[in-house]
Structure 1
Amino acid sequence: MPPLEAPDDRLQQAMKLVLLATLPGLLALFWFYGWGLLINLILSASTALVVEAGITRLRRQPLRPTLSDGSALVSATLLAAALPPYCPWWLTVVAIASGLLFGKHLYGGVGKNPFNPAMLGFALAIVMFSQPMTQWPVHGMSLLDAVQQVFNPRQAPDAWVQATALDTLRINKSLTIDELFAANPAFGQFGGHGVEWVNLAFLVGGLFLLQRRVFGWHAPVGMLASLFLVSLLCWNGSGSDSHGSPVFHLLSGATMLGAFFIITEPVSGAKSALARLLFGVGVGLLTYLIRTWGGYPDGVAFAVLLMNLCVPALERFAVSRQARTTP
């Protein structure tokens, strides 16, 4: 009989698999946006390790278990993938530091956080620094130019930055969907330009994690199904008042990143199968509502944080339902 793995060993193995599964999405991001993603990753990861080490020292705990469990690197990687490439260096540092401090260590560290640290850092960044958080590049730049743009931010040329497809659709009042896809460079074949392929790449990574049983199917299926259904019910074709097709919503923004890498986080998410399914459904519905009628173009981060608050109620509902159905 093989020896049982300690909880820390299981956590470390799960974090390694999650990091491995992000590679297709990260490579797609690098293909479309270039060196900015790599700089984001380095800044985010190094800041996360410094914050983890500093807090661990303040608590007078051993460094090695905290730094080696991989949870901080996973949060740093997911946040770096969500931030705009070539955003100022201080924005990345502030986002990951605040996410770990206020979303994790304020409540006692790994295993005790009620909120997803990466999404909390992202939400704080977009609320406090809305302008740089909306400057998404059309394409990449050379490594030297990328370093200069990140560490010595200058006004980016209008031809190089653009609003995302979700943001463009949200404020559109006159053009039809067909006209937007034909004339606006932010749109690709089915979703956002480039972002549609990034979403498909994160879908591949998410299916890998499902196959390895790192998490169950309930939360991802709940989120994607509810987002698809509500966007289908509210879709009115290609008119100027259209909110986008179901496929557009599935392949735009951080949909697949959220479905397979964010809402499946075991600590801040739900635990029981029914609660996980309802958690995913809630995230999908809120994502659509925020995208369509909210003040921010992509509602995944805010939807996740709002549903984090609902986890205790979802768990109580799941327990009471199981008690009623058990003979």
Structure 2
Amino acid sequence: MIKRHPTLLFLMASALAGPVLAADAFPSKPIRIVIGFPAGGGADNVARLYGDALSKELGQPVIVDNKPGAGTTIAADTVAKAPADGYTLYIATASLMGGDKVLYKTIRYEPTDFAPITRLTASPLLLAASKGAGIGSVAELLAKARQHPGELNYSSSGNGVITHLAGLQFARLADVRITHVPYKGGAPSAQAVAAGDAQFTFATPASVQPMIDTGKVIGLAVTSAKRSPVLPNYPTLAEAGIKGYDISGWYGLFAPAQTPPAIIEKLFAASARALARPDLRAKLASRGEEVSPSVSPAEFKAFAQREGKTVAELTLSSGARID
């Protein structure tokens, strides 16, 4: 029989208990949520409203860290390299799970470098046009695009993200040639349309609705297959004659891979409680975002992988490349 020294037994027990104790103590300091967009856009709105609610659930400050640039890949790379301890999180879209790898050949992360936690919100995009562009409907936009192939510019919140892909799908299904102009976020993209630098945009509701409310931009349609409960006054693009058009955006919460499962579960449970808050749901709905939490981290992982595959295929078929 092998005898073990009491000190060795204590160290072995401590090593086994370490992850459990760490999870039990989590969180013991502020949490950082990284996003790949600047302030003022859809992602920033969701991050700040959700972060405030999550802070109340966890009893620790939640800080939003805006890291725009390179189609959100700078932010994603930051999170992929962060310690897997639950204190650095990432709010991302489907591009993280597939489109980034197609568009950017030199990125140093993979979809497997992230641990999916939960979907936060889902919403269609809004197709909106500059007031000075002489476009008051989808039919007028199509007519102009066909009369002036390649001359109409549409803005997006960055290369490879959903607002870019929405334009690619529009061009493909409507059989028109339009020119993509990427910006570093939804707010500057919407401002470009308001200023007339771009004729139209596919935008998150939070980014473009303030411009619509002030009359600088004209809302034309939503990109979902059915009318949106949070944007009920807008027709769908399918209703406007572009059959089969159906693109909706979503924001989800991710952590670095290898984050302990107990911490993932704690973040999932706290997020579920935060997203159930009536005040948060009302604030998000007023910005065109419908709360859409996942059933479990496993369900969100499967969903994100499917969405990532769809985005990757659309990006690949478009022929778009950045490097």
Q: TM-score, normalised by structure 1?
A: 0.24
Between Structure 1 and Structure 2, which shows a larger proportion of strand residues?
2
Instruction: Identify which of structures 1 and 2 has the higher relative contact order when contacts are C-alpha pairs closer than 8 Å and 6+ apart.
Output: 2
Q: TM-score, normalised by structure 2?
A: 0.25
Larger Rg: 2
